[in-house]
Chain A
Amino acid sequence: MTDLKASAEKGTDSAVAVLLPRMSSNEKVMQVVVPLVALALGIAAWQWIVTANGIPKYILPGPGDAAVALFTDSSTLWPALWVTLRITVMALAIALVGGVTLAIIIVQSKWLELALSPFTVILQVTPIIAIAPLILIYAPDTQSALMICAFLVAFFPILSNMVQGLKSVDHNLLNLFELYGANGWQTLLYLKIPASMPYFMAGLRIAGGLSLIAAVVAEFAAGSAGQGSGLAFRLLESQYRLNLPRMFAALIMLCGTGIAIYGLTSFVSWLVLHRWHESAIRREN
Chain B
Amino acid sequence: MGSLVTDLSLAEAPSSVTPQRRLVVAMNNVSKVFSNGTLALKGMSLDVRGGEFISLLGPSGCGKSTALRIIAGLGAASSGSIDWPSSKINSHGLPEGDVGFVFQEPTLMPWETVFGNVHLPLKLRGVRKAEARDKVMENLTSVGLADFADAYPRELSGGMKMRVSIARALVTRPKLLLMDEPFAALDEITRQKLNDDVLTLWQQTGITVIFVTHSVYESAYLSSRIVVMRARPGQVFTDLEIAQPAVRDGAYRVSEFYRANCQKVSDALQSAIQSAES
Contacts and interface: CB of A to CB of B under 8 A. Distances in A.
A14 interface: yes
B215 interface: no
A277 B154 CA distance: 9
Instruction: Give the interface size bracket for A toward B.
Output: 35 or more
A181 B92 contact: yes
Contact of A11 (B141, B189, B204): B189
A276 interface: yes
Contact of A190 (B120, B148, B197): B120
Interface in B202-260: 204-205
A73 interface: no
Interface in A159-188: 170, 172-173, 175-182, 186
A114 interface: no
B99 A179 contact: yes
B156 A18 contact: yes
Interface string A227-268: 000000000000000000000000000000000000000000
Contacts of B112: 194
A4 B111 contact: no
A38 to B, nearest CB: 34
Given A18-B155, A180-B124, A173 B160 contact: no
Interface in B1-55: 1, 4-5
A194 B143 CA distance: 27
Contacts of B138: 1
B86 interface: no
A172 B103 contact: yes
Given A181-B90, A181-B92, A14 B110 contact: no
18 contacts: A1-B5, A1-B204, A5-B146, A11-B193, A12-B193, A13-B187, A13-B189, A17-B156, A18-B155, A18-B157, A172-B103, A176-B103, A176-B120, A179-B72, A180-B120, A180-B124, A276-B111, A276-B153
Given A5-B141, A13-B158, A190-B124, 19 more contacts: A1-B205, A4-B197, A5-B145, A9-B144, A11-B193, A12-B189, A13-B157, A13-B189, A14-B144, A17-B148, A170-B107, A172-B103, A179-B74, A180-B124, A181-B92, A194-B112, A195-B111, A276-B110, A276-B152
